[in-house]
Every structure is written in structure tokens, then in C-alpha cells.
Structure 1
């Protein structure tokens, strides 16, 4: 893979967390209040079913189990823990807990897949986590042990999902669109009974509500997860996990531009630290010169 291919793969994969960073503003401005699990089900299950309508390929044999596991790790368990952690913790602290994912990917990769640990990646992860802390935290943060625990479970779930997606690949003859669709569908089905148990379906939906749900399904779901899983196939798992840092930067910038939220010089420093950590952790293209 040459330098330009590597850059294009990183840039396209980065679009996923950048898009996911818009979830907060879409949820608060376009969706009915206090229905986060329903929104996650619509994003996952809606996007998955849309993809499967166009990709009528089913898993076979052991791949039913593998894709079900990937759907639970990447979508079902992760989404539930994401919203549960946000319930117990301020949004900034929840984001900070989730941001240690690159460190967990490196640790789990070394334990289960004999991946080599890189000092550069470890230092970059610490810089990125520090940057997110500066970007999203404030002095009024209150620590909740249960919320931190749930956040860590969700982070470990997504980290293992990234590693297994890379390790297993995808079924022979199954397109990436179908592979993405089945993970979203099965992960959404895991979330569906939980959402129905905890939340009530809104009595009426406005045009803005429908627009918000459509955005989450088509842009956040179909597009976001397609380029994310594509990136996992083409990039190192650690590099992919680092790109997740960009979600916090995206959320803060969108809040500043569209909602008039503050964006201080200290937050700017945090954003720069995050971008530097992602840049340092980027994959190094192979040397293709003839020997």
C-alpha cells in the first residue's frame, strides 16, 4: 500500500467518527427527548435492514455465530453501554472513559492476538486521552463508579469487536455492504427488546423527528459503519481506534458552530493534542522501492 492509498484509507475511515460526532446535535435538536435507546435501535436496525434489502446474501455455517458476536460487540453491547454510561456520568466524563479504547485495543491485541506493543502508539494514546480530557471536561465533574464501569465494558466491547473483525475478516463471497448490514441488523435486534422495555415509542413524529432518524440511519448508520468496517479491513486495528478520537472534536466544533456553545483556547489545545495523536499513530506506508 503506497503513501496515497494509506492517506485515502485513513481519511475515508476518519469520516465515520466525524459523522458520529454529529449524533449529539442531531439527537438534541431533531429527535424526541429522552429516547436514546430508541434512536440507537433505529440507527442500527434501520441501517442494517436498508443494506440487506440491496445485498441479499446470508451468512452460512459458523459465520452466523461470528457475525452475531461481531454485531453484539460492535453495535449491541457498545450502544447500550454508551447510553447507560451517559446516564450515570456527565457527557464529558463518559467520552473520556470511552476514549481509552486505543489502549485497550493494544492490550487485548497483545494478549489474545500476539500483536506487538508500540511505544509510539502508547504515548500517542496518552496524548489523545489527555486532549479529550481538556476538550470535554470541566471542574464540576462528579465521578460515578457504576457509570465508569459500564463505560469501560462498552469500550472493551468495541475494542474486541475491532480486533475480531480484523482477525476473522468476512465470509468469502460476501460484500462489505452485506457484512456491514448483517452486523447492524443483528446488533439492532439485540437492542430492540431493551429499548422497548425502557422507553415508550413517541405518540407522534414531526418532520424534524423523521429527518433526524433518517440522518442517523442513512448517514450515521449506513455510511458511517460501511467506511468504518472498510477501514478495519485496510488499516491496523490500533490506527482505526485512534481515529475514534475525532468524534469528540467533531461534536465540540458542531456545538460551537450551530448551537453557539463555548470553545475556549484550552479546548483548542485539547483538539490540537487529539489531532497530533491521530497523526503520530497513522500507519506508515511500506517501502516499495526495489531492492
Structure 2
């Protein structure tokens, strides 16, 4: 992997590391569906002028089938599912579930795209997930007095990560020929169309606070508009399995932002967890290789 790609992967993890915090700040006031709709709607409004400036709007219509599938699987469904989970469980527990995305992606790639991973990369996936569990375990407590079932919230997280894994592999097969900015913009636009009517139906009765609106704005600009341009550009360069391994780094940045901006403690246990996650990610991405061993083989 090139240094530039690794830098973009790290930036993407840093941006998405704050997404679970933003969802917790806004989900209770907006509700899962309305918040997801505002997130993709706001991202669409930010991305459309940029795509128009590059004369790429016509491609949104030509590629509507593939882009609508990506919008459903990579934005509309998982955003609503994770927002639903934020009503009942902590951000730490959601981030643990989110870290299963590379596992789903690798499994789907093996079944669908006939891609096989060598033992070293399989060990990296397992080690990275173990590091996430170790890092976030103390923060994985259920919030007291939650109105929603924690079991259903966990199932919602797992369903969301399955959607991410499926979307990553679908994107590799059906959108490789489409410019990353077109995929990012189209996926957000079609997701916004899908969620428009449900958002009206489930719009909150009470006016959300300024803090909740700020959380939605951050989710739209940083965690959707900017992040998905990076995501789909990385997808076209390094493939789905490598790109979705970013989920291993997300809890690391969540801890870092908490330490820097919220005054949360950073213990030796957290440092050890970060080290394990980084090592697992390096193995999963093929940054650490055995001599003469290919990290990923495609038989397609």
C-alpha cells in the first residue's frame, strides 16, 4: 500500500472515529430515521455543487441502478440502524460491532468474488477485532434506563456492518468504472430520496436543540460528504477488503478524541489496546508480510 493511501485511510478513520459520538448527541432528539435522512440529505447538498463543477451530474442518471444500491446498503440502512442502536447502547459497544465490517467484507468477498486471504491476513483480522474488544470493553456498558432493547440494538449494529461488507464488494464489482466523486454523491443522493418519506413520517414532535443540529451538520459534512469521497477513492485504489479494515482504527481515534477534547483518561490498558489494533490492522492490510507470500489471491 502506498504512503498516500495509508494516510487517507488514517484520515478516514479519524473522521469516522467521531461519528458514534455525533450520533449519540442527535439520535435521541431526531430519532434514527430523521437523523439518517438529514445526514445523507446534507451530504448530498454539499457534494452536488462539487460534482456539477466537474460536469459529472449526467453520470448520476446513467448509473442510477448501481448508485441506488450503494446508497441503500452503504448509507440509508446502516445510518438508520446505527442511529437506532445509539438510543440503547453506548458508543463503545457500537464501535465494537462496527469493527466486524472487515470480517463480513472478507467473508462476502470469498463467497461472491472468489477472493481468498492467506493465514497471516486472517490472523490480522482476528487480532484487530480482539484489540477492539480489549480497547472498548470497559466502555461497552449499556446505558441505564434505555427505552429500547439492547439485544435489538446489537442486532441492528450487526445488520449495519453486514450491509457495509456487502456494499464494499458490490462497489468493487459494479462501480469500479465510476469516478469516486460520482459514487459518493450518487449514493448520498439516492439514499436521501429513499429516506425522504420515512423521515417525514417519523419527524420528531419536539424541536431538536442546537446541539443536535450541530451533530447532524458534523455527520453530514465530515462523516458523510468528505468521508465518502475518501472511502470510494480508496476503494478504487486498494480494494474493498483493505478499505473496510479502517473500522479497526475507528475506536482508537474515538479514544484519542475523547482524551484531547473531553478530558477522558488515557490509561496503559488503552495504549496496549491501541497497539494491538494497529498491529492487527497492519497484518490485515498486508503491511506485514512473510517472504514470498502474497497477502491476497483472487481466483476470479
Q: TM-score higher than 0.5 here?
A: yes
CA separation in 1, counterparts of 2:100 and 2:217?
30
| Residue 149 (structure 1) aligns with | 155
Q: How many residues align?
A: 279
Shift of 1:68: 0.6
| Residue 197 (structure 1) aligns with | 201
1:13 aligns with 2:9: yes
CA separation in 1, counterparts of 2:37 and 2:124?
33
What TM-score does the superposition give when structure 2 sets the normalisation length? Answer: 0.81
Shift of 1:240: 0.9
Shift of 1:160: 0.7
CA separation in 2, counterparts of 1:253 and 1:34?
27
- 2:231 alignment partner, one of 228, 248, 258: 228
| Residue 289 (structure 1) aligns with | none
1:101 aligns with 2:101: yes
CA separation in 1, counterparts of 2:176 and 2:32?
30
RMSD value, Cα:
3.0
1:28–1:149 distance in 2 versus 1, CA, 3 Å: closer
Q: Secondary structure at the match of 1:244?
A: helix
Q: Secondary structure at the match of 1:102?
A: helix
**Which runs of structure 2 are paired with 1:210-221 in the superposition (5 Å)?**
211-221=214-224
1:282 aligns with 2:288: no
CA separation in 1, counterparts of 2:156 and 2:23?
22
CA separation in 2, counterparts of 1:42 and 1:181?
15
Q: Secondary structure at the match of 1:116?
A: strand
CA separation in 1, counterparts of 2:212 and 2:139?
34
Q: Is the 8 A contact 1:49 1:181 kept in 2?
A: no
1:47 aligns with 2:51: no
Q: Is the 8 A contact 2:31 2:202 kept in 1?
A: no
Q: Is the 8 A contact 1:80 1:191 kept in 2?
A: no
Q: Is the 8 A contact 2:128 2:276 kept in 1?
A: yes
- 1:266 alignment partner, one of 243, 264, 269: 269
Q: Is the 8 A contact 2:28 2:87 kept in 1?
A: no
What TM-score does the superposition give when structure 1 sets the normalisation length? Answer: 0.83
1:146–1:39 distance in 2 versus 1, CA, 3 Å: closer
Moved more, 58-67 or 38-47: 58-67
5+ unaligned residues in a row in structure 2: which ranges?
143-148, 288-293, 296-300
Shift of 1:187: 1.5
CA separation in 2, counterparts of 1:210 and 1:104?
32
Q: Is the 8 A contact 1:166 1:237 kept in 2?
A: yes
| Residue 256 (structure 2) aligns with | 253
Q: Is the 8 A contact 1:105 1:241 kept in 2?
A: yes
Shift of 1:14: 2.7
CA separation in 1, counterparts of 2:139 and 2:215?
32
Q: Is the 8 A contact 1:170 1:179 kept in 2?
A: no
| Residue 78 (structure 1) aligns with | 78
1:129–1:89 distance in 2 versus 1, CA, 3 Å: same
Q: Is the 8 A contact 1:42 1:217 kept in 2?
A: yes
Moved more, 277-286 or 256-265: 277-286
| Residue 166 (structure 1) aligns with | 172
5+ unaligned residues in a row in structure 1: which ranges?
287-291
